[in-house]
Amino acid sequence: MATTAAQSRARDGIGLPGVVLGIGLGGFVDGILLHQILQWHHLLTSTDTDNIGVRYYPPDTVHGLEINTLWDGIFHAFTWLAVLVGLALLYSRVTVRARTWASRALWGWVLVGWGVFNLVEGIVDHHILGIHHVRAGEHQTLYDLGFLALGVLLVVAGWLLQRSAPVVDERRAR
Amino acid sequence: MTYAHAGHAGGAVLDVASVGALTLASTLAVTYAWAALARRREPRGWSGRRAASFLAGCLLLGVALLPALSPYPPGDFRWHMAQHLLIGMVAPLLLVLGAPVTLLLRTLPRHQGRAVGRVLRSRPARLVANPATALTLNVGGLALLYFTPFYEVVEAHTAVHALVHLHFVAAGYLFAWVIAGPDPAPHRPSVPVRLVVLGAAVAFHALISQLLYAGIGVQVPVGEAERRGAGELMYYGGDLAELLLALALLSTWRPRRAPARTPVVAGT
């Protein structure tokens, strides 16, 4: 019984750092793949149809792209901050030299964090604020729902993965 | 407007600088492979993963400098940027993860190994291995190259060009080693400090690439398409390389000893 409690405590310890790291890495996937390489959207590309009255910055004008690039830069800073804070949290909680990075619990929580990123960004930015969509135009709601579905899938898969993981620091003194 | 790239004979497969780089990279690779094979015969062995990482770094160093592999026309600024990402960020990380200093220490006879250890712990080494120094050498090198007329000098002289490449490899290696890696680093600061330094490097790198893209203060005489393309490459490529470095930090850090250890030993 005592081992089970200790095991679950060790797994909880890695939960928050893993999720924060996952939020940052999920942001990178969104920022690099969707904003920059595919250029499906930027942070403010649908502000002509948004719900809070932000000015419209069309991405095909120089000024519009400048403003969108600025906000993408702020988004970029946020994702980096999440990655570095996640690593710092992880460091502050891992006290025994172990192959932390190879731990199934850590990467399970990272997947959960990525899913949380998709859910929060999807619900807030795409649906409530409507400042951009995954791919604006025809079928944009389908893309937005797909983004949310991916989020749910990641959270569930990550949760199952971390639950099946052995404790990270088996040699913990207590 | 295309800028004449005096260092490369237009369309040539090999130039002097690439021959030099290939020679250097293959010498490094052969020396490392020889030492690693010798260690493999010992009971402790030598990690195949480290060897693979180092040799991949050497390969990247060699091929990244071959003009024939450029997808762009000769002298294109975007190829110059891709080269700098590969030889200044990705290859150094692969080399550092190969633990060449550990291999050297295990290859050398004991008294020579001690001398290497003394050098690593010396005052000059402390000065160079400082994260602030490593950061300045990297960011300062980029700023000097893109925001002063130095780029034109570099393009006009093959020897200067080769030295700049060497600086990028050396400064990149120094930075990767200060931040992460299995090799001994007596003066390496704590993980939180290294994370802050990495954050600063990320910010400077993003700033310089954005300035390049926007053309603010840039003194590189190339057309707008080339300049923007290079800025984009630097922005995304830099992110990927820095992310790999952040994960390398995670994979090779040595967490603090459990504070509970002494009381537990004393108490039981």
Residue pLDDT, tens place only, B184-203: 888 888 888 999 999 999 99
Nearest CB to A97; choose among B191, B254, B260: B254
pLDDT at A24: 93
Positive/negative CA dihedral, B227, B238, B206, B201: negative
In the block, tokens 């025994």 appear at A96
CB of B254 less than 8 A from some CB of A = yes
CB-CB under 8 Å, A174 with B260: yes
Distances from the Cα of A17 to the Cα of A30, A77, A89, A105, angstroms: 20, 18, 5, 11
CB atoms within 10 A of CB B254: 9
Averaged pLDDT of chain A: 80
Burial class of residue A70 in the structure, from the number of CB atoms within 10 Å of its CB (0-12 exposed, 13-18 middle, 19+ buried): middle
The Cα–Cα gap between A43 and A74 comes to 10
| SS3 annotation, chain A | CHHHHHHHHHHHHHHHHHHHHHHHHHHHHHHHHHHHHCCCCCCCCCCCCCCCCCCCCCCCCHHHHHHHHHHHHHHHHHHHHHHHHHHHHHHHHCCCCCCHHHCHHHHHHHHHHHHHHHHHHHHHHHHHHCCCCCCCCCCHHHHHHHHHHHHHHHHHHHHHHHHCCCCCCCCCCC
Residues in B touching A80 (Cβ below 8 Å): 199, 202-203
Q: How confident is the model at residue B7 (pLDDT cuts 50, 70, 90)?
A: very low
The Cα–Cα gap between B252 and B49 comes to 13
| Digit-coded pLDDT (tens) for B172-186 | 999 999 999 889 888
The Cα–Cα gap between B98 and B50 comes to 4
If you measure CA to CA, which chain B residue comes closest to A106? B250
- Of chain A, the percentage scoring pLDDT greater than 90 comes to 27
Chain B: give the shortest CA distance to residue A97, in Å: 6
pLDDT at B255: 61
| Digit-coded pLDDT (tens) for A78-124 | 999 999 999 888 888 776 555 667 788 889 999 999 999 999 999 98
Indicate whether B259 pLDDT > 70.
Answer: no
Residue B14 makes CB contacts below 8 A (sequence gap 6+) with B22, B66, B67, B68
For B49-97, the DSSP string reads HHHHHHHHHHHHHHHHT-GGG-SS-TT-HHHHHHHHHIIIIIHHHHHHH
If DSSP codes are grouped into helix, strand and coil, which group holds residue B183?
coil
The Cα–Cα gap between A129 and A141 comes to 14
Of the ranges A21-30, A71-80, A143-152, which one carries the lowest mean pLDDT score?
A71-80
Predicted ipTM of the assembly: 0.71
pLDDT at B256: 58
Average pLDDT on A56-73 reads 79
CB atoms within 10 A of CB A146: 15
In this structure, are residues B198 and B179 in contact, taking their beta carbons and an 8 Å threshold? Answer: yes
Indicate whether A171 pLDDT > 60.
Answer: no
Residues 218-237 of chain B with CB under 8 A from chain A are: 232, 235-236
Helical axes B131-147 vs B191-214, angle rounded to 10°: 0
CB-CB under 8 Å, A84 with B243: no
Q: How confident is the model at residue B6 (pLDDT cuts 50, 70, 90)?
A: very low
Residues in A touching B232 (Cβ below 8 Å): 36
Torsion of CA A27, A33, A34, A39, to 10 degrees: 140
Nearest CB to A28; choose among B243, B249, B260: B243
CB-CB under 8 Å, A69 with B210: yes
HSE, side-chain direction, 13 A CA sphere, residue B263: 4
The tokens for B87 are 């030889």
Indicate whether B154 pLDDT > 60.
Answer: yes
CB-CB under 8 Å, A87 with B250: yes
The Cα–Cα gap between B36 and B45 comes to 8
The long-range contacts involving A2-9, CB below 8 angstroms and separated by at least 24 positions, are: A6/A167, A6/A172, A6/A174, A7/A167
Q: How confident is the model at residue A154 (pLDDT cuts 50, 70, 90)?
A: very high
Indicate whether B209 pLDDT > 80.
Answer: yes
CB-CB under 8 Å, A101 with B251: yes
Q: In this predicted model, which residue has the larger pLDDT, A162 or B15? A: A162
pLDDT at B266: 38
Residues in A touching B203 (Cβ below 8 Å): 77, 80
- Of chain A, the percentage scoring pLDDT greater than 70 comes to 84
CB-CB under 8 Å, A73 with B210: yes
Indicate whether B265 pLDDT > 50.
Answer: no
Average pLDDT on A50-68 reads 78
pLDDT at B219: 86
CB-CB under 8 Å, A77 with B232: no
pLDDT at B264: 41
pLDDT at B8: 44
pLDDT at B9: 44
| Residue of B47, B232, B253, B261 to mutate, interface with A, max A Cβ within 10 Å | B253
CB-CB under 8 Å, A87 with B195: yes
In this structure, are residues B147 and B218 in contact, taking their beta carbons and an 8 Å threshold? Answer: yes
In this structure, are residues B227 and B220 in contact, taking their beta carbons and an 8 Å threshold? Answer: yes
CB of B16 less than 8 A from some CB of A = no
Of the ranges A74-83, B6-15, B109-118, which one carries the lowest mean pLDDT score?
B6-15
Chain A: give the shortest CA distance to residue B246, in Å: 8
pLDDT at B53: 96
CB of B195 less than 8 A from some CB of A = yes
CB of B210 less than 8 A from some CB of A = yes
| Digit-coded pLDDT (tens) for B93-110 | 999 999 999 999 999 998
Nearest CB to A32; choose among B192, B195, B239: B239
Chain A: give the shortest CA distance to residue B30, in Å: 30
CB-CB under 8 Å, B199 with A80: yes
In this structure, are residues A67 and A44 in contact, taking their beta carbons and an 8 Å threshold? Answer: yes
CB-CB under 8 Å, A88 with B261: no
| Digit-coded pLDDT (tens) for B156-175 | 888 888 899 999 999 999 99
Indicate whether B60 pLDDT > 50.
Answer: yes
A–B CB contacts, 8 A cutoff, strictly below: 69
Q: In this predicted model, which residue has the larger pLDDT, A108 or B258? A: A108
In the block, tokens 């909880």 appear at A12
CB-CB under 8 Å, A81 with B258: no
pLDDT at A139: 84
pTM: 0.81
pLDDT at B133: 92
In the block, tokens 């920022």 appear at A31
pLDDT at B222: 85
Q: In this predicted model, which residue has the larger pLDDT, B55 or B14? A: B55
The Cα–Cα gap between A63 and B266 comes to 67
pLDDT at A8: 52
In this structure, are residues B15 and B7 in contact, taking their beta carbons and an 8 Å threshold? Answer: yes
In this structure, are residues A112 and A158 in contact, taking their beta carbons and an 8 Å threshold? Answer: yes
Most confident range (mean pLDDT) of A117-131, B8-22, B245-259 is A117-131
Nearest CB to A173; choose among B191, B243, B260: B260
